[in-house]
Amino acid sequence: MLGVILGLLFVGLTGLMWLLLSASLQGYARYEQRFVEHAGSRLESLFLFLDARKVFMGNLLALLGVPVGVYVLTGSVPWVVVSVLGLLAAPKLAFARLEKRRRTAIRESLPDALAQIAAAMRAGATFISAAQIMVRETKGPIAQEFALFLREQKLGLTLEEGMDNLAERVDLEEMDMVATAVQVARELGGNLAEIFERLSDTLRRKLEMEGKINALTSQGRLQGWVVGLLPLFIMLALNNMEPEAMQALFGSILGWGFLGVIGVLTVLGGLSIRKIVAIDI
């Protein structure tokens, strides 16, 4: 009887382990597929020709190695959990940062690009020919986006569809204005070169105003960073000076609860300051 019970127990545990392993493998496969698809689309939109699967493998190796190093250095399980969460969020944060930098570069170079197109159209070129001249003489994200727009034109897309795709990819209010100007001029008529000149001057003045506002609000943004990082530096200094006293904060559930509350309040304070100094024109 005992042998039968042990046999049934062994079969049950084996089946349970098989189910857990199968579920884990399926979850891993779904996570890999979502990561590769998402990373591939983001890399394509950024004109970064990298293998999304290699990016996934790099993130996976970091998830396996960094927490081990954190545990060896700190011996704290909560810090390991924090490092894992940070590594899981790192790809999205990195892509968001790269996209923001790309949009900023396009916004800053758009007035000059429009001025080049307007000058070429004044000389007798069509809009497509003027855009080709601008792409040849310009580098950076703005040239990449307009080059893709020109390739779509060669593939048979209409001008309206190409401009809509361009505005959708860039996702900037300034590019929406350009697309609207082209479509209105095509449907209702008008001097597109003159429209581009005025739009270029308007966007250039807007950039100058935004630069002045950023300079005037830089102190407020610095205060936000100071307010956000000051508690962290104080905790690190106290941990080096009085490690035994700080052990209750880092080594107990109640202490980590207080740290969570401090973190939430600090983030809310930083977001409030950022909202105050963010002036949209």
pLDDT digits (tens, 9 = 90+) for 50-86: 888 888 888 888 878 888 887 787 776 777 777 878 8
**Percent of the chain with pLDDT strictly greater than 70:** 88
Name the pLDDT band for 27 (thresholds 50, 70, 90). Answer: low
- Rounded CA-CA distance 21/267 in Å is 38
Region 206-213: mean pLDDT is 83
pLDDT of residue 238: 78
Whether residue 279 is predicted with pLDDT greater than 80 in this model: the reply is no
Query: 163 vs 31, which has greater pLDDT?
Result: 163
pLDDT of residue 22: 54
Q: Residue 150: which residues within 8 A CB-CB, separation 6 or more?
A: 128, 131, 132, 135
Element (H, E) at 278: none
Region 248-261: mean pLDDT is 77
Q: Residue 143: which residues within 8 A CB-CB, separation 6 or more?
A: 113, 134, 135
pLDDT of residue 10: 47
What does pLDDT average to over the chain?
Answer: 80
**Percent of the chain with pLDDT strictly greater than 90:** 2
Whether residue 4 is predicted with pLDDT greater than 50 in this model: the reply is no
Whether residue 236 is predicted with pLDDT greater than 80 in this model: the reply is no
Please determine, looking at this structure, whether the domain spanning 101-211 carries the CATH number 1.20.81: yes
Full-model pTM? 0.72
In the chain, where the domains are located: 2-75, 101-211, 217-277
Name the pLDDT band for 25 (thresholds 50, 70, 90). Answer: low
pLDDT of residue 280: 65
Considering only CA atoms, which of 128, 117, 136, 132 is closest in space to residue 193? 117
pLDDT of residue 8: 44
Whether residue 202 is predicted with pLDDT greater than 80 in this model: the reply is yes
Query: 277 vs 11, which has greater pLDDT?
Result: 277
Q: Are 111 and 196 in contact (CB under 8 A)?
A: no
